[in-house]
Structure 1
């Protein structure tokens, strides 16, 4: 049993919406979870009881517990409960009339006030642990050892939490203040939204009480009323108040009916509404490896490039910028081999076998933001990188860059400014020194960054962060206005960031970082630029590698780099290093996995 997900693959919160419970909920239970057979998992003062559909007790676990939460599927039910004596979360498997204890989650360094489950799009199970002072942790549940994913800060005095899996939303009820919605997915920013605040700041009449999930949303106690929210596009919409009655302490649902608990027991207080139609789920591709983290915290890693070793596919090098330090060089396993402290480098690109007269070089070019200059690096036959030159530009805030190697020979560079300006240079070498000659200028209407040139087709793709991907001839002699290849819309979400070109034997593809949706869009690299799909990079549990999100730069190659990368590799910058928390790094993805996920030829 490698992970809990191998036992329990949930289809989301809708799994709770089975037939109405036949058994009467035990009046002594202060928390409930409905079972698919019409029974209940009932948490009482000193025990957790399994009640079948006929009302018979099938199993019991002695525990002074609180904060019961569950997920179910055809294989059974996963439950968690906080053991109040040991101050730790105890997961259980509920199946075949038995309660089986799974390894407990290691006790945090704080007392647990609230705990709740989350099942992500990969069907991996997590538990959130929340302390009284706002400390919180997210753990990946695995049968062979739970793993901490991240620490996070939540409001103080959180009494209840629940997660809507479909929207990856963590709801937390802050005592005397209100109800908050957080991003439950660790691969992303810690955004939050206030759904309702207590008076006089908001419309809640009392401190928020217990929470219960309803299909597509959540219900919360507000004194003698129940407030319910449902997803409406990207927003949460509150339904009209429902009367709950006096002295309600807890909420539960059997999938059709919302139940409230008082001293007299459990009673129905309303119907559970239908869930909204689920949004399409993008395929998930797992990373095969990751680099060692960069040596600076915060937003540091930015853009990768790939150098191919023509004599040894496995001897490839991954160059990555650290915009607080310089250029990093990694091997195919992700081990750091070099650090060139060249300053605040942003974008980097590589071309190999470049001729300057009788000289031949493998060249990397990066933008240096302190000097607004272009930094040239040479790469020797072993993959060792050395700084070769610094060339000034007239830009005020240099940002992105990409290289173009015309069929006629030589090397050219495109660099841009945050104000939209592009400078197109021809790189030259004379008397043992590098130089740059400006060929042309053009601009986008707003901030660009990523760009990539298709050397074979003579095409330049330009990313404008808020608007989309543009295309124009890369050759200055064929200069033409920018033409929109893929606008920002349903699949490509601003910011448009890194771009890379995959030139395969059957087709060529442009890969674009859709930063606003933590995904990657693949489209044909020739007109009419047909979109072939999009994917996300998920957690490789077996490899201990977290997913990728908020990707700035990326690079892709079709070169055979050996092993799983026989058909090429995608390298992406990861904006949030998890499993556990750490400085940013780069993730390696096999192109064969992407092609399989998107059914590419």
Structure 2
């Protein structure tokens, strides 16, 4: 944060002299070179600086690839607008909107060969794009934002063989300009006549919006916003008349606006761009109202400041693993999917099943490809957990238990050797707002269950069977201070792990006769962000790990299941472009198994609930992740 704050402060100090700066007054070979280079792009309505010192210039007839001296190397005939670029291997990815067809256009600029190559076309648009901009995420995947005059907006996937819609989103009306800061995943949009907004560019998770500036009398912005340009550590914006320049940066996580700076030498500018000069300093590029003249003004910002900031963000980010498969979507919209449980087929791993709750319908059963095999309409089920080969009353059973929020019961399901699930019985609990559940198989045999209430109460039951009827017996009760949900019992160590959503992860003896003294092993803060949600245990040959859903950061924390419970790292589930599977976010429940489930899951698998289905938007579902991918990403081997 110190580097970023220094960056913004240096930028503002440099901008304080922009009003008096005149390109004609510049001295030295370098300054003359800048002035000469800018003059070569006269007539361009939009401009993008290239890594080799050249330019992409968009005028009313074409997109032109120019060398550092302004000589044309290639052109693509188009009447276009909304030019944006990102560096890539061998050159630059450029996107724009064709003003005649209203389609987005993606072009590869090869800086070595000096060519412009058109990528696969976008489908016919459903609206006319008024603004457009690029975004490249932490996976190095490129996306295009398209924004209509009435606020309709779409995010499209650019990578891969075909264009795919990621999501639709609602943005303000009359947005004329947008830019995305890849390092922080921030989408900036300037709403004509109103102000500048910062949105979350990442498609996964709930949308976020922050206001950076509003016009008078709602804020201090005079006349409304205009064009945007990114700067390391912040964003620059012209006012609607091109007479003032504003700079915004983050300090201690909050956006701050600096005092506006007059642009006497560049009055009525309508376009704004930025580049890093040969000396390594940031420059802002402004054009005149008639687009006949471009000029550079110093930003006084060392290029390495932005690089340091990007590196700091990357170093703090969780590892990224990709899903191998996903289930069919829920048959209900909204917040429906919640918690999965993995059932391992006794002889054929490929015939294993994943049980998943639908909080608006019942229990779903899926095969290893994610296809739904069963639906049991048992009502509003929340959490589910299971154990196999449970000895009760002289017979062995595979059993699952789920919480039912309509009648505050525990619902017991049987699972036959083919993976067919059936509801067997409901056990009343007396709880008022039943929520989470997990089951425990003591060393001495049998089955026990821990069920909790939103008020923090836990009830511990023994599940039995007598004369062909399943029974439940309350063994004890204990309580945490605030709302819990996720829990998991370690059959090997006899420990129960409990998630208190706003506070962290506790451990307590699983055996009823060993008391209920609780010990915090992973508090919220740092790697774990509230809400603390689903958790499960992976029992490997060398070590056992506890996996916890860190819902607030859309990530998953892995720590040793045994004391002192060392944290091994965290990861996110990213986009599998090749398979057309989106990432996962705001995960409620999860389950992990170390069993050999065949194919990519030979070392086990993780199943997580996905709170936001993208690529495209749709009802919630569950994502399958190979444990070997997690182990490699976190160096668990």
Q: Which residue of 2 aligns with 1:161?
A: 178
Secondary structure of 1:185's aligned partner:
coil
Number of the residue aligned with 2:259: 240
Note the 1:3-14 alignment, pairs <5 A: none
Q: What is residue 44 of structure 1 aligned with on the other side?
A: 59
Contact 2:361 2:378 in 1 (8 A): yes
Structure 2 residue 259 is the aligned partner of structure 1 residue 229: no
Deviation, 1:143, is 5.3
* Map of 1:407 onto structure 2: 443
2 CA distance for matches of 1:147 and 1:232?
Answer: 36
What per-residue deviation string (whole Å, max 9, x for no partner) do you get for residues 142-167 of structure 1? 35211111111111111111111111
Alignment pair present for 1:59 and 2:74: yes
Alignment partner of 1:210: what SS?
strand
Contact 2:38-2:296 within 8 A present in 1 as well: no
Structure 1 stretch 505-514 or stretch 24-33: which is displaced more?
24-33
Corresponding residue for 1:314? 350
Q: Aligned to 1:170, which of 175, 187, 193?
A: 187
Cα distance in structure 1, aligned partners of 2:260 and 2:62: 34
Correspondence 1:5-24 to 2 at 5 A: 22=34, 23-24=37-38
Matched, 1:269 2:290: no
Q: 2: CA distance between counterparts of 1:171 and 1:505?
A: 48
Which structure shows the bigger proportion of residues in helix conformation?
2
Query: Distance between the aligned counterparts of 1:522 and 1:233, measured in 2?
Result: 28
Residue 219 (structure 1) aligned with residue 245 (structure 2): no
The reply on whether 1:69 has 2:77 as its aligned counterpart is no
Task: Kindly state the Cα deviation for residue 119 of structure 1 after the two structures are TM-superposed.
Answer: 0.4
2:220 equivalent in structure 1: 203
1:596 aligns with 2:632: yes
Matches within 5 A, 1:294-373: 294-373=330-409
How far apart, in 2, do the equivalents of 1:291 and 1:194 lie? 37
Do residues 514 (structure 1) and 550 (structure 2) align?
A: yes
Equivalent residues in 2 for 1:511-550, closer than 5 Å: 511-550=547-586
Q: Tell me the CA shift for residue 512 of structure 1.
A: 0.4
> Does the CA contact (< 8 Å) of 1:34 and 1:41 recur in 2?
yes
- TM-score normalised by the chain length of structure 1: 0.95
CA contact (8 A) 1:560 1:567 kept: yes
Q: CA deviation at 1:74?
A: 4.4
More deviation, 251-260/230-239: 230-239
- Partner residue in 1 for 2:103: 88
Q: Deviations 1:487-506 (Å, cap 9, x if unpaired)?
A: 11111111110001001110
Q: Within 5 Å, which residues of 2 pair with 1:420-569?
A: 420-569=456-605
Supply the distance in 2 between the matched residues of 1:89 and 1:82 (Cα, whole angstroms).
Answer: 4
8 Å contact kept, 1:372–1:392:
yes
2:38–2:295: 8 Å Cα contact kept in structure 1?
A: no
CA distance in 1, matches of 2:418, 2:250: 54
Aligned partner (choices 280, 283, 293) of residue 257 of structure 1 = 283
Measure, in 1, the Cα distance between the counterparts of 2:159 and 2:476: 57
The Cα shift of 1:270 comes to: 3.7
Unaligned runs of 5+ in 1: 1-18
Deviation at 1:230, TM superposition (A): 2.1
After the TM superposition, which of the residue ranges 557-566 and 25-34 deviates more from structure 2? 25-34
Partner of 2:24: none
Hey, what does 1:5 align to over in structure 2? none
Secondary structure of the equivalent of 1:254? strand
Moved more, 544-553 or 242-251: 242-251
Q: Distance in 1 between the 2:249 and 2:215 partners?
A: 19
Shift in Å at residue 90 of structure 1? 0.8
Q: Answer whether contact 1:214 1:272 (CA < 8 A) is retained.
A: no
Query: Are 2:55 and 2:67, in contact at CA under 8 Å, matched by a contact in 1?
Result: yes
How many Å apart are 1:242 and its aligned residue? 2.6
Per-residue Cα deviation, 1:158-193 (whole angstroms, up to 9, x for no partner): 111111111111111111111111111111111211
Q: Which whole-Å deviations, capped at 9, do the CAs of 1:485-539 have from their partners, x for residues lacking one?
A: 1011111111110001001110000000001110010000011000000011011
**Contact 1:501–1:525 under 8 Å retained in 2:** yes
1:536-565 C-alpha deviation (Å, 9 max, x unpaired): 101111111111011000000100001110
- Equivalent-residue separation in structure 2 for 1:510 and 1:330 (angstroms): 24
Count of residue correspondences: 583
> 3-state DSSP class of the match of 2:84?
strand
